[in-house]
């Protein structure tokens, strides 16, 4: 009797058991449509993040799993399309939705893990908008009118359209102006989204290391930045690599000498980044004992420029907002010939200066001044037609 009594008291004191929640299929589909779902795809090596939303039409693909109890289920399976707000892209996804509102066994699209081979055709890209639309009291600080308006460089829809435009132009990669971990404009805070947008495409991105052009960072600082780029960005599928080594382009200043090449060689020891330095002097760079993997010249005031053996650069024009006259006038016929010269020269790096440096007026991105029926503009149309 005593034992039985104790058991009875214990059962009275125990918390009441509640059945796991269960939903009707209609309710589960409503949950899918009325919420957004932040999820990481742990099934992929790069662990991409998504912010997914679903339309009512897409939610029809959700179906119940297992046996029902009074017309309700604990789990629902989905295999279909979702819209990812991180990249402004529709993606194919699979998962199980539980009646606790959780996504289990999530899987999204695999990455494109290809890398371009030489010749690599790349363009210089600037993510310093909206900041750069204003300079002093002047807004907008450009003589032209981009077809995407005076956009924000952190807008997923803008980035997606720009990646589509660069791919249309048969460009393999973009060289992304980067101002350091805590630099201004906040290009570091934005770069992850560019890699995410390009993840499932063959288009690639590399850092353009701007701090070298405005100072002389010591090898310790350069090494720290290279380690950061390697650890945070270079592991992502959309980061540009040559022979498995992550690519870093380096801007330069007017007073550069072989000491700059020495600093970069020392900083890169044991890291193994593929370094492309900015050339200096008439041919002084060729005589440096410390040689990078390649050289380039940032020269948008020149219509075309060969830098043997590394690179060939072309520019559509240079019309700085406050200048009285253009340093390089736009001429579409000349531009088409420059493209042909670049392709014919067959340098390993074939560089377009620039995709969207609007304050200096060297952009090939579409603008109302050169818009075309393709939607990409005359300068990208010429690249599309002129690059194999």
For the segment 164-203, what is each residue's pLDDT rounded down to a tens digit?
999 999 999 999 999 999 999 999 999 999 999 999 999 9
Q: Is the pLDDT of residue 51 over 50?
A: yes
Mean pLDDT (whole number) for 248-277: 96
Cα separation, 193 vs 205, whole angstroms: 11
Q: Return the bridge partners of 304, or none.
A: 314
Please report which confidence band the pLDDT of residue 206 belongs to, taking 50, 70 and 90 as the band edges: very high
Cα separation, 57 vs 146, whole angstroms: 35
Please report which confidence band the pLDDT of residue 8 belongs to, taking 50, 70 and 90 as the band edges: very low
Q: What does the block give as tokens for 87?
A: 């990249």
Inter-residue contact 150 to 183 (CB < 8 Å): no
- In percent, the amount of the chain with pLDDT more than 90 equals 92
Please report which confidence band the pLDDT of residue 11 belongs to, taking 50, 70 and 90 as the band edges: very low
Inter-residue contact 127 to 191 (CB < 8 Å): yes
Which own/partner pairs from 17-21 qualify as long-range (CB within 8 Å, at least 24 positions apart)? 20/74, 20/99, 20/100, 21/74, 21/99, 21/100
Q: Which of 136, 131, 123, 141 is nearest to 360 (CA)?
A: 141
Mean pLDDT (whole number) for 1-26: 56
- What pLDDT, on a 0 to 100 scale, did the predictor assign at position 4? 39
Predicted TM-score (pTM) of this structure: 0.92
| E strand residue ranges, the chain | 37-40, 49-53, 63-65, 75-84, 89-98, 103-107, 120-125, 173-178, 204-209, 241-242, 245-250, 274-278, 294-296, 304-307, 311-314, 349-352
Cα separation, 316 vs 148, whole angstroms: 19
Q: Is the pLDDT of residue 14 over 50?
A: no
Average pLDDT, the chain: 94
- What pLDDT, on a 0 to 100 scale, did the predictor assign at position 15? 46
Q: Could you read off the pLDDT of 87-129 as tens digits, one per residue?
A: 999 999 999 999 999 999 999 999 999 999 999 999 999 999 9
Please report which confidence band the pLDDT of residue 254 belongs to, taking 50, 70 and 90 as the band edges: confident
The residue assigned the tokens 């449509």 is 33
The domains of the chain, with CATH numbers, are 25-107 (no CATH), 120-386 (3.20.20.80)
Mean pLDDT (whole number) for 30-50: 96
The residue assigned the tokens 């109302």 is 368
- In the chain, count of helices (H) and strands (E)? 9, 16
DSSP-assigned letters across all residues of 261-278: HHHHHHHHTTT--EEEEE
Cα separation, 99 vs 268, whole angstroms: 52
- What pLDDT, on a 0 to 100 scale, did the predictor assign at position 144? 98
Cα separation, 64 vs 29, whole angstroms: 10
Inter-residue contact 58 to 82 (CB < 8 Å): yes
Q: Is the pLDDT of residue 84 over 70?
A: yes
Q: What does the block give as tokens for 307?
A: 């830098």
Mean pLDDT (whole number) for 307-327: 96
DSSP state of 293: S
The region that residue 202 occupies, defined by phi over 0 for left and psi between -120 and 50 for alpha, beta otherwise, is: alpha
Q: Could you read off the pLDDT of 17-29 as tens digits, one per residue?
A: 466 799 999 999 9
Q: Could you read off the pLDDT of 319-368 as tens digits, one per residue?
A: 999 999 999 999 999 999 999 999 999 899 999 999 999 999 999 999 99
- What pLDDT, on a 0 to 100 scale, did the predictor assign at position 12? 35
- What pLDDT, on a 0 to 100 scale, did the predictor assign at position 207? 98
- What pLDDT, on a 0 to 100 scale, did the predictor assign at position 18? 67
DSSP-assigned letters across all residues of 175-229: EEEE--TT-SS-HHHHHHHHHHHHTTSS-EEEEEE-GGGGS---HHHHHHHHHHH
Q: What does the block give as tokens for 17?
A: 């058991």
Inter-residue contact 66 to 83 (CB < 8 Å): no
């Amino acid at each position: 009797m005593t034992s039985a009594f104790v058991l009875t008291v214990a059962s009275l004191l125990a918390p009441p058991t509640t059945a796991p929640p269960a939903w009707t299929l209609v309710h589960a589909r409503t949950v899918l449509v009325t919420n957004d779902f932040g999820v990481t795809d742990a099934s992929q090596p790069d662990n991409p993040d998504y912010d997914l939303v679903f339309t009512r039409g897409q939610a029809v693909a959700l179906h119940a799993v297992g046996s029902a109890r009074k017309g309700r289920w604990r789990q629902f399976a989905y295999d279909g399309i979702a819209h990812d707000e991180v990249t402004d892209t529709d993606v194919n996804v699979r998962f199980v939705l539980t009646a606790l509102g959780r996504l289990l066994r999530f899987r999204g699209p695999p990455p494109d893990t290809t890398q371009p081979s030489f010749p690599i055709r790349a363009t210089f890209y600037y993510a310093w908008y909206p900041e750069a639309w204003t300079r002093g009291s002047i807004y907008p600080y450009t003589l032209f009118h981009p077809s995407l308006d005076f956009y924000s460089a952190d807008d997923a829809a803008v980035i997606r359209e720009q990646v589509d435009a660069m791919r249309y132009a048969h460009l393999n990669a973009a060289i992304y102006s980067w101002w350091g971990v805590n630099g201004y404009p906040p290009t570091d805070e934005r770069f992850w989204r560019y890699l995410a947008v390009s993840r499932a495409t063959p288009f690639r991105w590399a850092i353009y290391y701007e701090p070298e052009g405005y100072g002389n960072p010591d090898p310790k600082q350069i090494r720290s930045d290279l380690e950061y780029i390697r650890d945070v960005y270079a592991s992502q599928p959309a980061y540009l690599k040559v022979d498995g080594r992550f690519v870093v382009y380096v801007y330069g200043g007017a007073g550069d000498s072989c000491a700059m090449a020495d600093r970069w060689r020392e900083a890169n020891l044991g890291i193994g980044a593929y370094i492309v330095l900015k050339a200096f002097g008439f041919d002084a760079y060729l005589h440096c004992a410390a040689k990078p993997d390649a050289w380039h010249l940032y020269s948008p005031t020149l219509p075309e420029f060969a830098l043997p053996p590394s690179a060939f650069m072309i520019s559509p024009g240079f019309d700085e907002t406050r200048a009285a006259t253009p340093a390089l006038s736009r001429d579409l016929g000349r531009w088409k010939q420059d493209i042909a010269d670049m392709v014919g020269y067959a340098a390993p790096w074939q560089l377009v200066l620039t995709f969207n440096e609007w304050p200096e007026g060297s952009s090939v991105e579409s603008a109302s001044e050169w818009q075309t029926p393709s939607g990409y503009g005359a300068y990208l149309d010429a690249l599309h037609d002129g690059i194999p």
